Structure 1
């Protein structure tokens, strides 16, 4: 039987999602637990596969992982979560056809990038975002692979930007992505937002046959994989206990980090001013 899991992970301490030798990865941690619970007994026969790869430091709410198993009754989120580390968890599962491919059968993938609002002109960023919608050659927004060249044309269906308190949230939906594509798009948008570049530069960047320029990707820690959609969608069974347990944990963690964030702000010294220690 082939089983699909929806998993989330806080990517700070992972070297990416895909298994790598001598590196801590999301798939590596999941595979260890699947073997420990005897959900998987033969790694090759299990054919573990995921809906996409994320780089070191990138997070996820709804990555989809599939595998073959002879012991599906143990492939339940709450069972797996009892042995998984706290920074990776499962929250839904489904039985899927043997030919279901979580990567190739995906029709939409949604990501969100969160950055500090700082001094960005969000109206300019939104105007620039409109230029990315549709089918474009994103050669200037990825690292070129000269050994294995492939098409750099992708279809961006949606790119929304909104301000929320002290952060800006950038949501992007596309059929597929290139390596570092989202983070480089974010970098381009911030350059327009802070006035370093103008909107016409975005048009040139989307015309790589006539203009080439490298751009550094935005930091990985701001990127989160939100969702992947299929047609037809698997009949997901949500493990309510797993969801509640995870929500409770991260609510506590969010509150803790709000306090830590405030404390860190106290460390920002203003030498030109007299410090107020009251």
Structure 2
């Protein structure tokens, strides 16, 4: 099993089923073929992934599993019974180092772990954690935190996802943590914050839909009780039409498994650290250049602030047009 870190930059999502290139998955398999690590083809390798992040979404903890070539015998045994000795780890292929040599710079393998032959990265995952970054601006954080607390627990989230009736019949999911906190970073009198969400599993675009509603609450366009109304599917059986939050600030932060501990050689770990630090510094330089450009602009006159426009044009969610009923959507998919 491998854990993957990738940035949003140029990929059409993680999964190769996106029908557009490049995807993170397609680049990983190109690297596996180049390094001769793949056993058979993709189908024969019993490949599985923990999740399929969409275009524009980054990851620091995506997990995949598949058969790879190994220097050791019987490595696919039960990981709860088998304990790798230091000598065994030294004899094993350094998967992180080998793959990162041929992967694009915006994809990095950051760890590996031997797993049982019946391990499945998606169905074996105990929990997934996402993080969504945003600038505070004039958002009411206390109201957002009040609304966020209502998501915790097991609920029907059909009003907080993109309809996928062809593949999903159960819209109940469990959220175990929903936290909004400061990142202690400031820029131009604004402050960077983050929403951290942990749950057993998530529906298609569920995180971005929940964040979109939280932003409406933070802007004063909706009250925290809107979350109660949308979670009550007897009261609100159809999802109101609204735009999701942008994909760029969203990160799949980690995936949790039982008795799985990823490892990485010291040499490979140093190389990954240096690479990520270099990429970070490059982005900081770009940010400094943009900030320099802002400093060259004439400052607008703020002595006469414009009237508050936050409510202009906003239609309350419960008064908006709604999506098709799930039952009707399913019938439509079957008919066509």
Q: Same fold (TM over 0.5)?
A: yes
Q: Compute the displacement of 1:46 (Å).
A: 1.5
Question: What is the alpha-carbon root mean square deviation over aligned residues?
Answer: 2.0
Q: Name the structure 1 match of 2:101.
A: 82
Question: What TM-score do the two structures reach when normalised by structure 1?
Answer: 0.90
- Are the counterparts in 2 of residues 110 and 173 from structure 1 also a CA contact under 8 Å? yes
For 1:53 and 1:8, the matched residues in 2 are separated by 13
For 2:262 and 2:102, the matched residues in 1 are separated by 25
Q: Does 1:47 align with 2:46?
A: yes
In structure 2, the CA distance between the partners of 1:268 and 1:222, relative to structure 1 (3 Å rule), is farther
Q: Name the structure 1 match of 2:200.
A: 175
For 1:261 and 1:154, the matched residues in 2 are separated by 41
Q: Name the structure 1 match of 2:6.
A: 9
Q: Name the structure 2 match of 1:59.
A: 58
Q: Name the structure 2 match of 1:221.
A: 248
- Are the counterparts in 1 of residues 152 and 176 from structure 2 also a CA contact under 8 Å? yes
For 1:215 and 1:140, the matched residues in 2 are separated by 10
Q: Name the structure 2 match of 1:276.
A: none
- Are the counterparts in 1 of residues 62 and 252 from structure 2 also a CA contact under 8 Å? yes
In structure 2, the CA distance between the partners of 1:200 and 1:263, relative to structure 1 (3 Å rule), is same
In structure 2, the CA distance between the partners of 1:267 and 1:49, relative to structure 1 (3 Å rule), is farther
For 1:33 and 1:109, the matched residues in 2 are separated by 26
1:1-278 to structure 2, matched below 5 A, reads 4-20=1-17, 21-43=19-41, 44-71=43-70, 73-74=92-93, 76-164=95-183, 165=186, 166-211=191-236, 212=238, 213-237=240-264, 239-263=268-292, 265-266=294-295
For 1:203 and 1:100, the matched residues in 2 are separated by 37
For 1:214 and 1:269, the matched residues in 2 are separated by 39
The farther-off stretch of 118-127 and 138-147 is 138-147
Unmatched runs of 5 consecutive residues or more in structure 2: 72-91, 303-336
In structure 2, the CA distance between the partners of 1:235 and 1:114, relative to structure 1 (3 Å rule), is closer
For 1:141 and 1:97, the matched residues in 2 are separated by 35
In structure 2, the CA distance between the partners of 1:173 and 1:268, relative to structure 1 (3 Å rule), is farther
- Are the counterparts in 1 of residues 96 and 264 from structure 2 also a CA contact under 8 Å? no
In structure 2, the CA distance between the partners of 1:228 and 1:70, relative to structure 1 (3 Å rule), is same
- Are the counterparts in 2 of residues 49 and 66 from structure 1 also a CA contact under 8 Å? yes
Q: Compute the displacement of 1:241 (Å).
A: 2.5
For 1:74 and 1:264, the matched residues in 2 are separated by 48
Secondary structure of the corresponding residue to residue 145 of structure 2: helix
- Are the counterparts in 2 of residues 133 and 157 from structure 1 also a CA contact under 8 Å? yes
Secondary structure of the corresponding residue to residue 211 of structure 2: helix
For 2:115 and 2:146, the matched residues in 1 are separated by 41
Question: What TM-score do the two structures reach when normalised by structure 2?
Answer: 0.75
Q: How many residues are matched?
A: 270
Secondary structure of the corresponding residue to residue 113 of structure 2: strand
Q: Compute the displacement of 1:271 (Å).
A: 6.2
The farther-off stretch of 240-249 and 119-128 is 240-249
Secondary structure of the corresponding residue to residue 286 of structure 2: helix
More strand by share: 1
Higher-Rg member (1/2): 2
